[in-house]
Amino acid sequence: MGSNQFAVGGLAELDQLMKSLPVKIEKNVLKGALRAGQKVMLQGAKNHLSEVTKRDSGALENSLRIRFARNAERIGWVRSYLVAGDKYAFYSHMVEFGTASFYSGAGKTVGAPYVIAAQVKESLFFGGQAKEAVLHPGIKPRPFMRPAMDEQAENSLKAMIQYLQKRIPKELQKAEA
């Protein structure tokens, strides 16, 4: 197997066991397991973020959160996401993927460096000087989510397994009582 791949055994048995639990318990157990795994990813993303954003206000790190999605038609179905960005850290995708320095729209400037032009003469100020146009160099990608996923996938899975190993016996005891 490649460096980003690993084998997981026992999924069929886990599926059978989960199906034996009441639906509400199944959903709650799965949600807890997903949260346990995502917490590992969240910490990995925060660690990478502290490396790539030295002068950030903390808004990007504070915007990292775990979200869940449910499907009303599929009983016991739940999905989790690790999300970056909010109204204060709207730039999370720009940090992760970078920005282009070349214009890709229509017209004669396609493929040329992206130029920000002033709408009104002397309305664009940089360094205390009025400019008619400024060449935008773009921003290099500084990924923090992808490396967290690459590095923490196995640890995340282990956290999920540990959670399930602790929680399922408790739920089975409750169901039998």
CB of 82 within 8 A of CB of 145?
Answer: yes
What's this model's pTM, rounded to 2 decimal places? Answer: 0.70
Lowest-pLDDT range of 61-65, 103-107, 128-132: 103-107
What is the distance, to the nearest Å, from the Cα of residue 119 to the centroid of all Cα atoms in its chain?
37
Residue 147, pLDDT > 90, answer yes
Say which residues have a Cβ less than 8 Å from residue 59's Cβ, sequence separation at least 6: 86, 88, 89
Picking from 96, 41, 38, the residue whose alpha carbon sits closest to that of residue 68 is 38
Residue 79, pLDDT > 60, answer yes
Q: CA–CA distance from 124 to each of 80, 101, 112, 167 (Å)? A: 43, 19, 20, 60
Predicted confidence (pLDDT) per residue in 46-72, tens digit: 999 887 766 667 889 999 999 988 776
How many other CB atoms sit within 10 Å of the CB of residue 89?
18
- The Cα 167–Cα 21 span in angstroms is 12
pLDDT (0 to 100) of residue 24: 67
φ, ψ for residue 106, nearest 5 deg: -105, 155
- In this prediction, residue 1 has a pLDDT band, given cuts at 50, 70 and 90, of very low
169, containing H or E segment:
helix 145-176
